[in-house]
Amino acid sequence: MSKETFTKQQLDDWESFESVRRDGLFNMLDPRARMAAGLDKEEHLFCIKHYSALKAAAEAKKAGEPK
């Protein structure tokens, strides 16, 4: 597993991206998905390119937070 480090903003962007993806209304390559997530083109493409690593980082962060 990769040990990439992401900023809080990148993880927040991924959460927005993931929320739109879970809704299932758009193909995530569709510009409407980007707009629905409130991301600019670079942020959106970053989420696509680093999806798996961002997901792992978000899950690890969530697991480390107190319940």
Give 67's pLDDT tier (boundaries 50, 70, 90): low
Residue 53, class by beta-carbon neighbours within 10 Å (0-12 exposed, 13-18 middle, 19+ buried)? middle
Q: How far apart are CA 50 and CA 55, in angstroms?
A: 8
Give per-residue pLDDT as tens, 42-62.
999 999 999 999 999 999 988
Can you tell me whether residue 16 is helix, strand or coil? helix
Residue 1: the pLDDT is 38
- Flag whether pLDDT at 66 surpasses 80: no
- The model's pLDDT over 16-30, given as tens digits with 9 standing for 90+, comes to 999 999 999 999 999
